[in-house]
Amino acid sequence: MTAVTFDAGRITPATRPAGAVTAAATVAARSVRKFVRTPQLLVVSTVTGAMFLLIFRYVFGGAIDTGPIPYVDFMVPGYIVTSVLFTGANASSSVAQDLEEGFTDRLRSLPVSRTAVLAGRVVAETGLLALGLTATAVIGVAVGFRPHGTGAESLAALGLILVFGFAFTWVFVLMGLVAGNVQAAQGMSLLIFPLSFVSSAMVPVGTMPGWMQPVAENQPITVMVDAVRSLALGDPALAGLGGSTGHYVGLSLLWAVGLVAVFAPLAVRRYRTS
């Protein structure tokens, strides 16, 4: 190796600190690059997603009565919502990994807004969710799902899922920050199993035991699934829902706003001070 010398004089230093947008975009670019260049991540998440979709569609589906509509039309909107949750849980592990490997220390020692850095991260993770969301929707259509509503309603459904994904990403980021290491973060992410399954995502809530129904009916995943399903089917009644589409969409947006209002400040505070 040639002798190493370093001459700080050849570096032109910055005249002022990076702005919030630059900081967020720079950090987001890293998350996207990391995802795109780690093909196994893409493959694993797509294959797992497809596998569960096929199992529900063809194995369990025949035993589940969803009234006037075929099970595949009932299940796919619910499934897409939960798949966003499962993909989003990766954010928790990757945040924890950055803490564990000192990457977070590097970022926190730089003269940039820590809030911007974290926001950039969340935006990038949400962008990646959009990719996964598209893949799952395509598979859903391939196995026979057909939206019954208008094209605009279907697009609104996808948009709503992204809003929801954005809100939940803050929860996962906080989980990763609290966990501090990948294993603990993965353990905490298991929380999404009861959340996903004790909901209207895969089965009508009416088939659950009486004591479980109030929980299942009012938890955020169900609220979200009901809204997405109402949009996708074009008529809430087809999904056995009593209210209007507007009602379910409004309620789910309220949940999303609530989640961000609570978890974003907590995550930012944790990131700034821990």
Based on the shown chain and the rule CB under 8 A, indicate whether residue 42 belongs to the binding site for other proteins.
no
Could you say which of 55, 58, 70, 106 contacts other proteins (CB under 8 A)?
106
In this complex, which beta carbon is closest to other proteins, that of residue 117 or of residue 198?
117
Q: Residue 40, interface with other proteins (CB under 8 A)?
A: no
- Considering only 58, 60, 105, 134, the residue that binds other proteins (CB under 8 A) is 105
Whole-angstrom distance, CA of residue 126 vs CA of residue 77: 18
Residue with tokens 């009012």: 218
- Of the candidates 267, 260, 266, the one whose C-alpha atom is nearest the C-alpha of residue 104 is 267
d(CA 236, CA 74) in angstroms, rounded, equals 11
Which residue among 42, 74, 79, 102 contacts other proteins (CB under 8 A)?
102
Q: Does 112 sit near other proteins (CB under 8 A)?
A: yes
Is 37 among the residues that bind other proteins (CB under 8 A)?
A: yes
Is there binding between residue 15 and other proteins (CB under 8 A)? yes
DSSP 3-state of 95: helix
Q: Are 190 and 198 in contact (CB under 8 A)?
A: no
Number of residues located near other proteins, criterion CB under 8 A? 40
Residue placing its CB nearer to other proteins in the complex, 4 or 63: 4
Distance CA 124, CA 172 (A): 14
Nearer to other proteins, 19 or 159 (CB): 19
C-alpha closest to that of 224 among 254, 193, 189: 254
Least Cβ distance, residue 37 to other proteins (angstroms): 4
Cα distances from 234 to residues 64, 75, 146, in angstroms, run 21, 15, 11
User: CB 250: neighbour CB atoms within 10 A?
Assistant: 13
Is 39 one of the binding residues for other proteins (CB under 8 A)?
no
Residue 59 binds other proteins, judged by CB under 8 A = no
The binding site for other proteins (CB under 8 A) comprises 1-18, 22-23, 26-27, 29-30, 33-34, 37-38, 101-103, 105-112, 273
